[in-house]
Amino acid sequence: MLTYLGRRLILMLPVAFLVSVVVFALARLAPGDPAVILLGEEHDPTAVAALHHELGLDQPLPVQYLVWAGRATRGDLGRSIQTHQPVLQAIGERLPATLELGLAALLWSLLVAIPLGTVAALRRGTPLDYLASGFTVAGVSIPNFFVGVLLILVMGLALRLFPVGGFVPLNQDPLLNLQHLVLPALTLGTAGAAINMRFTRSSMIEVLGQEYIRTALAKGASWLQVVRDHALKNALIPVVTIVAIQVGSIIEGALVTESVFSWPGVGKLAVDGIFNKDYPVIQGIVLCAALSYLTANLLVDVVYAWLDPRISYR
Amino acid sequence: MALVLLFVTACGGGTGNGGAPTSEATPKAGGTLTYAIESELRTLDPLASTQLVERTVMYQTYESLVTVDPQLNIKPGLATSWTASSDGTTYTFQLKTGVKFHDGTDFNADAVKFNLDRILKAASSPRKSELANLQSVDTQGASTVVLHLKKPDSTLLAQLVDRAGMMLSPAAVQKLGADLGRNPVGAGSGPFKFVEWKRDDHLTLTKNADYYGKKAYLDQIVYKPITNDDARSAGLKTGEFDQIRLAAGKDVASIKADSNLTWKDLPGLAFGGFELNHSKPPFNDKAKAQAVAEAVDRAQVVKNVFFNVSAVSHGPIPPSSWAYDASEKIYDKADPNKAKSIATGFTFTMKVTNTPDNIQEGTLLKDQLAKAGITMNIQPEEFGQLLTEAEAQNFDAALVGWSGRIDPDGNMYSWFHTDGGNNDGKYSNPQVDKALEDARTTTDQAKRKADYDQAQKLLVEDAAYVFINHPVAAQISTNKVHGYVLYPDGMPRFATVWKS
């Protein structure tokens, strides 16, 4: 198991390298000059040229890449062009907010998906199943930003149940923190809930058709026991895969939601970075996101073994 | 350039009440004002600042050598008086005494020299072009400072109102170094002190209890960057925010109709419209530029895109300026037939920023021009890309506005002088150049107004730029906010504000 883990960790290196080259190139292929954006209304050619020099943007691209990559291997992702803040520090400051939102969204999606998916599988073909499927289609099809605005207008403005945006740190006021968390978490979790519900349902249907289920029932186990102890545990393996990918994509999914709710997380940092062509910020976040994907995938394989002892590693 | 496009929607012609404080009740001290702004700031160092939202904080914490009243007359700030030499190249300022920065150090002539020298030494600062004519700074004792200019510049005082004239504590600037932009503790001298800034979350100012002048009423101001238009307007309606800087055009009517909310506005300094590239076809042919100017229905744009929260524009000088001439109304009404008789049957591409408001405005203009047989294609682009291409003259027309300056020179010279820094369309008219240069070298306001009248008439007629609207400066708050004074520059000055 340890050798396996070690091998997987080493394999992450070339992937990280490729990601760094691609993101470096993509950020620069996008049109727009960060110095012009930074100076905005007041950009005049001398100021732009001076800023290019200050930022090292007057160097050839390969040189710029090597400088950046060299520092990155030492854990220095550079400083934001816009704010001069070290990128790693900026990401670190925002990570707790993003993780909180991402985990809350995931929790919400699982709370909805697993019971609903199980029930839909058990009551296959009934109106309940159709309702659940309808929820899936809607959840996956309606874009995040629309769900977000809808929730702001209905739950925030019309019913005044929750604040419409902003953030209060958990350690400052836990209750206010949770109140601010509800709408963004619902927004971010809805699409995930729909997908997870779909996976739970189909996987459950498949498992329920297995012979060991029939055997268990024949041995006199109650329907509830069979579902809980035999069917659900096995049905959840594909769900774990998809959930893990969702964990890895917390940052990505939060891009839109954090912007809509002014949630001070990594996603909002990324969106602002992209709009401002803040190369170090874009590169730093994509690199971190890629690493978190890789880590999530690794964890999935470990969790598999726990869920299904027949899976072994060489 | 182009900032206007980002906040065009807060413009209007509604219930102007600028100038006088807005409430008769007795002011009450205390409380926190939550102010939602439409984007996060980048820096609080005036030397590096380029964004309007940054100034909404700086105007509370920093003070400038001179300031303006709500009619835009220059008033004493940290300087109590000033004299200009007869040739206009030397300005001598007498400074206020007994002023302390928030870090406890003294404001004096050395501090002024330190701050202005920072600008002179900076390579990439946008302030450099604002004080392009400043040669050197001398001190005479502790409270007299002399500015030597390369040539006469009647815009100097107006430039010193804003960031170029803001005085920061030299001790704080040196101590903070690169952190000044993010954490300017102790750097200002204004009625509010900087406390903390947690990016993308909040920025807090607290009342300066040791302020030498009239102290502020509010205990605290909390700035919240809320980028989503719906969230900002909804937060105002639920009382989460006491005041917002900007509302989307579509929300204006519902805010005005809400009896718990206050909407006041007055004409601002900005102009909106589109620039034409006079250096290449089709608009190197003046007739084609004029045909476009003739065919545009400004009133319809103001009504349909800006929900009437904006004034129709007839030139670069806004109604709030002393140089405004209400009688000049060239291209007042759209006239497609007259446009056809000047030039028709040509095609051009309009570059617009890829925001819904700008694309909507572009679509409406396309429709209007079609009536005169002119084909306009719309090309939406990212803001930064649009700026870069405009600067490289890589455009036919570009929907790019200007946030406006206190002095009329700031709305004209850089845009319409042959050598102007913002003259992306390469417009050139020797008569306009001369009038703009003359206006810079005299301090006689009547003479300057005559120069600007002449320049404006010529450049509007030439269709140097197609002017469409003048956005407004607005107060958008709950009824709990009192004492807010509207200035045409749109900057809040929260020292007079109190909450009930």
Residue of B46, B75, B76 lying closest to B188 (CA atoms): B46
Which tokens in the block code for residue B156?
A: 């100097």
Residue B117 exposed, middle or buried by CB count within 10 Å (0-12, 13-18, 19+) = middle
Chain centroid to Cα A212, Å, comes to 36
Among B42, B224, B237, select the one facing A166 at the smallest CB separation.
B224
Instruction: Tell me the HSE value of B263 on the side-chain side, using a 13 A CA sphere.
Output: 23
Per the CB < 8 Å rule, is A262 touching B50?
no
Alpha-helix runs per DSSP H in chain A:
2-29, 34-39, 45-55, 61-73, 87-122, 127-141, 144-151, 174-208, 211-218, 223-225, 232-248, 250-260, 266-275, 279-307
Are A193 and A186 a contacting pair, CB within 8 Å? no
Paired with B94 in beta bridges are: B81, B144
| Alpha-carbon torsion angle B93, B98, B104, B106, nearest 10 | 40
Give residues with Cβ within 8 angstroms of B153, minimum separation 6. Answer: B88, B133, B440, B441
Is the C-alpha dihedral spanning A268, B360, B282, A40 positive or negative?
A: negative
Chain centroid to Cα B341, Å, comes to 38
What is the DSSP-derived secondary structure letter of residue A41? G
| CA–CA distance, A32 with A36 (Å, rounded to integer) | 8
Residue ranges of B 164-183 with Cβ closer than 8 A to chain A? 178, 181-182
Q: Do you find a cis peptide bond into B282, omega within 30 degrees of 0?
A: yes
Among B51, B227, B385, select the one facing A259 at the smallest CB separation.
B227
Residue of B77, B135, B83, B131 lying closest to B107 (CA atoms): B77
Per the CB < 8 Å rule, is B129 touching A42?
yes
- Chain B residues closer than 8 Å to A37 by CB: 383-384, 387
- Chain B residues closer than 8 Å to A144 by CB: none
Per the CB < 8 Å rule, is B387 touching A37?
yes
Residue ranges of A 186-225 with Cβ closer than 8 A to chain B? none
- Chain A residues closer than 8 Å to B40 by CB: 272
| CA–CA distance, B228 with B210 (Å, rounded to integer) | 37
Q: Which of B43, B228, B389 to mutate to test the interface with A (most CBs of A within 10 A)?
A: B228
| pTM recorded for the entire structure | 0.82
Among A44, A45, A156, select the one facing B234 at the smallest CB separation.
A156
Per the CB < 8 Å rule, is A156 touching B238?
yes
| CA–CA distance, A131 with A157 (Å, rounded to integer) | 28
Residue of B265, B274, B369 lying closest to B311 (CA atoms): B265
CA distance A157 to chain B (A): 6
- Chain B residues closer than 8 Å to A46 by CB: 128
Are A158 and A118 a contacting pair, CB within 8 Å? no
Are B53 and B240 a contacting pair, CB within 8 Å? no
Q: Looking at the predicted complex, does its ipTM rise above 0.90? A: no
Neighbours of B87 (CB within 10 A): 10
Neighbours of A6 (CB within 10 A): 10
CA distance B49 to chain A (A): 8
Q: Which of A33, A37, A41 to mutate to test the interface with B (most CBs of B within 10 A)?
A: A41
Radius of gyration of chain A (CA): 24
CA distance to A149, A167, B64, B479, per residue, from A69 (Å)? 39, 34, 43, 54
| CA–CA distance, B198 with B203 (Å, rounded to integer) | 6
Check if A260 contacts B (Cβ < 8 Å).
yes
Q: Is B37 left (phi over 0), alpha (psi -120 to 50) or beta?
A: beta
Check if B198 contacts A (Cβ < 8 Å).
yes
| CA–CA distance, A162 with A184 (Å, rounded to integer) | 10
Residue of B11, B18, B100 lying closest to B311 (CA atoms): B11
DSSP for B149-189, written as a single string: ESS--TTHHHHHHTGGGEE--HHHHHHHGGGGGT--TT---
Among A31, A39, A277, select the one facing B126 at the smallest CB separation.
A39
- Chain B residues closer than 8 Å to A43 by CB: 1, 126, 387, 391
Q: What is the pLDDT along chain B (500 residues), one digit of tens a residue?
A: 333 333 333 333 334 344 444 445 789 999 999 999 998 888 999 998 888 899 999 999 999 999 999 988 999 999 999 999 988 899 999 999 999 999 999 999 999 999 999 999 987 788 888 898 999 999 999 999 999 999 999 899 999 999 999 999 999 999 999 889 999 999 999 999 999 998 888 999 999 999 999 999 999 999 999 988 888 999 999 999 999 999 988 889 899 999 999 999 998 999 999 999 999 999 999 999 999 999 999 999 999 988 888 999 999 999 999 999 888 889 989 999 999 999 999 999 999 988 888 999 999 999 999 999 999 999 998 877 888 888 889 999 999 999 898 999 999 998 999 988 889 899 999 999 999 999 998 888 899 999 999 999 999 999 999 999 999 999 999 999 999 999 999 999 999 999 99
